[in-house]
Chain A
Amino acid sequence: MTMAPEDSATDDSHTDDARTDDHRTDDGQPPMEAFRYSDGSITYPGHPVGPDGEEPVGTVDLSEYTARVITWTTATATPPGVRQPNHLAIVEFDVDGEPVRAIGQLTAGDVESGDEVRPVYCEELRDPEAGIREPASQDWDGYRFEPV
């Protein structure tokens, strides 16, 4: 069962500029932004072109939906700067009949495949300074999935 909010943006002239922290939700948190393409497909994360080879035509804020756990794991051997253990899941949102998958941390390890989860915002998912990737090269906040 998923909630069904309206699209957070449906700007046909969508560009990468839409993918910034300036697009904040009402509670001041950045959206969990997926891209919608002209063939109706939606991907998280967004890509410069979609499965149809065309540029995206809008965005969807997945943080306003719930999702279903497809599969999950608990990793005990984690890289530098990552919590240990690290509960992870691949989940699937249903956005008006269009399936959209995402991967992310779980708030807890007591889940089963098929469980319903909701995204909850986290300011820092791992320590940007501890790993091999250049800290300035990407965002480090995002959404964990919490069992409903």
Chain B
Amino acid sequence: MERVAIIGASMTQFGQRDAWIRELLAEAGEACLDDAGVSPDAVEHLYVSNMASGEFEGQTGVPNALAHDLAAIPAYTARIDQTSSSGGAGVYAAWQSVASGASEMTLLVGGEKMTHRSTAEATDVIASLTHPVEYKHGVTLPSFAGLTARLYLETYDAPRESLAEVAVKNHRNGVDNPHAQFRKEITVEDALESPVVAAPLRLYDFCPITDGSAALLFCPESVAREYADDYAVVSGIGGATDTHVVHERADPTTMGGVVHSAEGAYEMADRDPDDVDVAELHDMFTILEFLQSEDLGFFEKGEGWKAAQEGVTARDGDLPVNTSGGLKSKGHPLGASGVAQVYEIYRQVLGEAGPRQVDADVGLACNVGGFGNCVTTAILEAR
């Protein structure tokens, strides 16, 4: 199996954008090709990670549209939809296309246009991934977060403030990310006094609704040096699912998809959790940072909250988590998020993260769809 390199990366400004989905995708795709110095006609496979451009905007067929807009015709194209983990699934598909020998140059672009919809409408589009017995009760992803956060706090005797610490940390990191939607520090008091959204969680426990796009360029490592002096390899990648019906899980505070996808990634990379220097986790809700950090093996079950409170996951801690600001501060354009997570890890392991830079040779990105329903975990290392 061919080892896969990433030789270029880009992301657009995240936030409320005037651009629509085609324009957002083209902006990131063009910037990524420029970053690598690769001509569009060299692209053999082009994947677009996107959850719901049809539902949000009435625009379908975006991969073909992007191939035309980038002058990448006749590249093979496909749309990758795996809800909030569409980006991670796109990374998996792009890696697979190169590792299998099917493509020698694969461009992945993830994007979503959401902010023209009201919060209620956007929440409903996302909640449409739920099972009918969940949907008819008005169950949403934020309500899953509230249910799970209460169970976690009660089971592990964790203080409510520990969740606020996650929001404070990720907002602090986002200040130094020029692409982030929010570049403003908040305090624990701000988080604890913000309006209730899904008790016990409040406004600052949730990521915003976001427009944006990000892109990565993949090729076989055997030719990577022809394009770049420095590049990263995808040393490990894994994907897995958990139950569609969330309440059927034996322990709702454990995400089986995270556990199993990480096992695959660690095994492929011949790494273990102690080898990871920096991680981007899917903090769509603050509670998810605890669950993933435990299910990835960074901390014992029920101990993730202590790491947040003790500063272990801060930028200057032993294991920096979400140096980009995470979904919480950077924003969460659904199909782009998993790609943007790998963008941050790529910059970190190459030493190109500017004021966000930490000491990192091995980085991990974990992208979660649904409420842990489908997950992709990727490990990157610099070359």
Residue A105 at the chain B interface, CB threshold 8 Å: yes
Minimum distance in angstroms from A46 CB to a CB of chain B: 10
Residue B139 at the chain A interface, CB threshold 8 Å: yes
Give complex CA distance A131, B136 in Å. 10
Given known A-B contacts A126-B136, A142-B137, A77 and B119 have beta carbons under 8 A apart: yes
Q: Let me know if B137 and A88 touch, CB within 8 A.
A: yes
Q: Let me know if B198 and A73 touch, CB within 8 A.
A: yes
Among A1-9, A23-31, A133-141, the stretch that binds chain B is A133-141
- Output the nearest chain A residue to B146 by Cβ-Cβ distance: A73
Given known A-B contacts A76-B195, A101-B247, A88 and B147 have beta carbons under 8 A apart: yes
Of the residues A75, A113, A133, A138, contact of B142 by C-beta under 8 Å:
A75
Q: Let me know if A77 and B132 touch, CB within 8 A.
A: no
Residue A83 at the chain B interface, CB threshold 8 Å: yes
Q: Let me know if B151 and A45 touch, CB within 8 A.
A: no
Minimum distance in angstroms from B154 CB to a CB of chain A: 6
Q: Let me know if A132 and B196 touch, CB within 8 A.
A: no
Contacts of B247 in A (CB 8 A): 90, 101-103
Q: Let me know if B136 and A125 touch, CB within 8 A.
A: yes
Q: Let me know if A139 and B132 touch, CB within 8 A.
A: yes
Number of chain B interface residues as a range:
35 or more
Given known A-B contacts A75-B138, A79-B120, A102-B247, A44 and B147 have beta carbons under 8 A apart: no
Residue B55 at the chain A interface, CB threshold 8 Å: yes
Minimum distance in angstroms from B191 CB to a CB of chain A: 16
Minimum distance in angstroms from B150 CB to a CB of chain A: 5
Residue B42 at the chain A interface, CB threshold 8 Å: no
Residue A147 at the chain B interface, CB threshold 8 Å: no
Interface residues of B in 222-270 (CB under 8 A from A): 245-248, 252
Residue B156 at the chain A interface, CB threshold 8 Å: no
Contacts of B245 in A (CB 8 A): 43, 45
Contacts of B125 in A (CB 8 A): 132
Residue B36 at the chain A interface, CB threshold 8 Å: no
Give complex CA distance A133, B134 in Å. 12
Give complex CA distance A66, B200 in Å. 25
| Tally of A-B Cβ pairs under 8 angstroms | 123
Given known A-B contacts A105-B137, A125-B137, A77 and B123 have beta carbons under 8 A apart: yes
Which of A79, A80, A142 has the largest number of chain B CB atoms within 10 A? A79
Contacts of B133 in A (CB 8 A): 44-45, 102-103, 142
Given known A-B contacts A75-B197, A101-B247, A142 and B136 have beta carbons under 8 A apart: yes
Residue B383 at the chain A interface, CB threshold 8 Å: no
- Output the nearest chain B residue to A83 by Cβ-Cβ distance: B138
Residue A15 at the chain B interface, CB threshold 8 Å: no
Give complex CA distance A45, B136 in Å. 13
Residue A120 at the chain B interface, CB threshold 8 Å: no
Q: Let me know if A79 and B147 touch, CB within 8 A.
A: no
Contacts of A107 in B (CB 8 A): none
Given known A-B contacts A45-B245, A70-B151, A75 and B137 have beta carbons under 8 A apart: no
Q: Let me know if A104 and B137 touch, CB within 8 A.
A: yes
Give complex CA distance A53, B123 in Å. 34
Of the residues A79, A81, A104, contact of B140 by C-beta under 8 Å:
A79
Q: Let me know if B119 and A71 touch, CB within 8 A.
A: no
Give complex CA distance A86, B127 in Å. 15
Residue A72 at the chain B interface, CB threshold 8 Å: yes
Give complex CA distance A82, B138 in Å. 6
Interface residues of A in 99-115 (CB under 8 A from B): 101-105, 113
Minimum distance in angstroms from A25 CB to a CB of chain B: 18
Q: Let me know if A73 and B136 touch, CB within 8 A.
A: no
Q: Closest 4 CB pairs between A and B?
A: A73-B146, A82-B138, A79-B124, A138-B132
**Besides the known contacts A74-B196, A77-B142, A79-B120, 16 further A-B residue pairs in the complex with CB atoms under 8 A apart:** A43-B248, A71-B154, A71-B252, A72-B150, A74-B199, A78-B120, A78-B138, A79-B140, A88-B137, A88-B147, A90-B252, A113-B150, A126-B136, A132-B121, A142-B133, A142-B136
Pairs A–B under 8 Å by Cβ, sample size 19: A44-B133, A45-B131, A70-B151, A72-B147, A74-B146, A75-B197, A75-B198, A75-B199, A76-B196, A78-B140, A79-B123, A79-B127, A88-B143, A103-B137, A103-B147, A113-B150, A125-B136, A132-B125, A139-B136
